[in-house]
């Protein structure tokens, strides 16, 4: 069965950046470009925007899917490319298609654009992206960069995979290794130390045992990740940081010029979403790089 990727496009540059990422990253997959006409808002409003944005080429919404098809024709994508037009609330229609309410299309993955950090220093995904990230039952990729920036990258490039010992983080590593075998993979663990003290300052105190326990746990997790990579015949680099997980992941990815982050998501229940919100969704909101949230315990292409 073909891997099926859904890409909402809305005329904004970020929407087309998501399409660019999908065409490049899934060259053999079936891709559906979805355009949702929301009659309640200005037709120039983009995914995640709260104010109107001019279409990049000055055309009306009727040309969005045509431009998406043109780009697919120009690309090296070899899989099936489909288009779908709907009317309604964008996030609801995206989720409806993803869930397969109308027929058994079997969407496996959603790739959508995000409008990144706001000018008031409060990063956000945007109302549509946020709803899809929180509620989609499938693996979701958020693309916060421009179309030009995505085209300049050599995907899959450098992939950072945070690991924490959960089934979801293992699924994310499996996904990254299976989907991007040519990438440079790094497994990353944030120590999340309970105290703001370095090892040097903790020596000879009760904190030394706490630090040692966290470091030992990190060694075990990264060793397990390396063993998994060996099963895929892949070379895996490893790294740790002392910051809290969300900040550590974003900071490390940016400082070391990773091209994308792949991490586990803990599902859709209320308790799970609270956990996701504390790490995975924070990373998706704040990262200046593309972030993929892998749902479930097996999500490889």
CATH number at residue 90: 3.40.50.620
What's residue 268's pLDDT? 45
Exposed e or buried b per residue across 89-104, where buried means at least 16 C-beta atoms within 10 angstroms of its C-beta: bbbbbbbebbeeeeee
How many of the other CB atoms lie within 10 Å of CB of 52? 12
**Residue at a domain's end among 102, 132, 150:** 150
Cα dihedral sign, 232-233-234-240: positive
Short-list 28, 27, 31, CA closest to 8? 31
**Half-sphere exposure (CA, 13 Å, Cβ side) for 80?**
11
Residues 192, 136 share a domain? no
**Is 160 buried (19+), middle (13-18) or exposed (0-12) by CB count in 10 A?**
buried
How many of the other CB atoms lie within 10 Å of CB of 241? 18
- Given a contact cutoff of 8 angstroms between Cβ atoms, the answer to whether 228 and 173 are in contact is yes
Residues 207, 106 share a domain? no
Residues 68, 97 share a domain? yes
Residues 202, 116 share a domain? no
> 50 lies in which domain range?
1-150
Tokens for 10, please give them.
Answer: 């809305």
Residues 163, 135 share a domain? no
Short-list 65, 43, 51, 57, CA closest to 13? 57
Distance CA 110, CA 7 (A): 6
**Is 142 buried (19+), middle (13-18) or exposed (0-12) by CB count in 10 A?**
buried
What's residue 122's pLDDT? 42
Residues 46, 181 share a domain? no
Distance CA 258, CA 10 (A): 27
DSSP states of 232-284: TT--EEEEEESS-HHHHHHHHHHHTT-SEEEEE---SSHHHHHHHHHTHHHHH
**Residue at a domain's end among 118, 150, 182:** 150
Residues 131, 6 share a domain? yes
pTM (predicted TM-score): 0.84
Distance CA 278, CA 249 (A): 13
Short-list 81, 61, 115, 89, CA closest to 6? 81
Angle between helices 167-179 and 207-231 (to 10 degrees): 40
48: left (phi over 0), alpha (psi -120 to 50) or beta: left
**Residue at a domain's end among 121, 150, 179:** 150
Residues 125, 23 share a domain? yes
What's residue 83's pLDDT? 96
Residues 158, 142 share a domain? no
| Ranges of residues in the chain whose predicted pLDDT is under 50 | 43-45, 49-60, 116-124, 267-276, 299
Exposed e or buried b per residue across 127-139, where buried means at least 16 C-beta atoms within 10 angstroms of its C-beta: ebbbbbbbbbebb
What's residue 52's pLDDT? 42
What's residue 130's pLDDT? 85
What's residue 275's pLDDT? 43
Residues 46, 96 share a domain? yes
Residues 146, 220 share a domain? no
Cα angle for residues 237, 247, 190 (degrees, 5° grid): 45
Residues 175, 50 share a domain? no
Count how many domains the chain has.
Answer: 2
Q: Is the peptide bond before 228 cis (omega within 30 degrees of 0)?
A: no
């Amino acid at each position: 069965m073909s891997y099926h990727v859904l890409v909402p496009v809305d005329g904004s540059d970020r929407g087309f950046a998501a399409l660019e990422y999908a065409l490049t990253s899934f060259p053999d997959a079936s891709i559906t470009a979805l355009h949702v006409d929301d009659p309640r808002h200005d037709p120039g409003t983009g995914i995640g925007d709260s104010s109107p944005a001019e279409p990049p080429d000055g055309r009306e919404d009727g040309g969005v899917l045509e431009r998406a098809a043109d780009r697919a024709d120009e690309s090296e994508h070899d899989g099936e490319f489909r288009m779908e037009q709907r009317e309604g609330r964008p996030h609801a229609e995206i989720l409806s298609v993803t869930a397969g309410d109308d027929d058994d299309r079997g969407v496996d993955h959603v790739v959508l654009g995000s409008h990144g950090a706001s000018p008031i220093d409060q990063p956000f995904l945007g109302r549509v992206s946020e709803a899809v990230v929180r509620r989609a039952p499938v693996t979701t990729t958020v693309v916060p960069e421009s179309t030009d920036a995505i085209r300049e990258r050599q995907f899959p490039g450098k992939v950072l995979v945070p690991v924490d010992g959960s089934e979801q983080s293992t699924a994310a590593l499996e996904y990254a290794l299976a989907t991007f075998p040519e990438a440079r993979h790094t497994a990353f663990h944030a120590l999340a130390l309970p105290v703001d003290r370095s090892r040097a300052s903790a020596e000879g105190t009760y904190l030394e045992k706490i630090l040692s326990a966290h470091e030992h746990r990190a060694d075990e997790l990264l060793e397990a990740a390396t063993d998994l990579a060996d099963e895929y015949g892949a070379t895996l680099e490893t790294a740790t940081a002392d910051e809290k997980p969300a900040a550590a992941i974003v900071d490390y990815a940016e400082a070391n010029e990773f091209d994308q982050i792949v991490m586990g998501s803990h599902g859709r229940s209320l308790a799970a979403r609270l956990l996701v919100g504390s790490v995975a969704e924070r990373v998706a909101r704040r990262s200046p790089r593309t972030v993929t949230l892998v749902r479930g315990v097996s999500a490889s292409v």
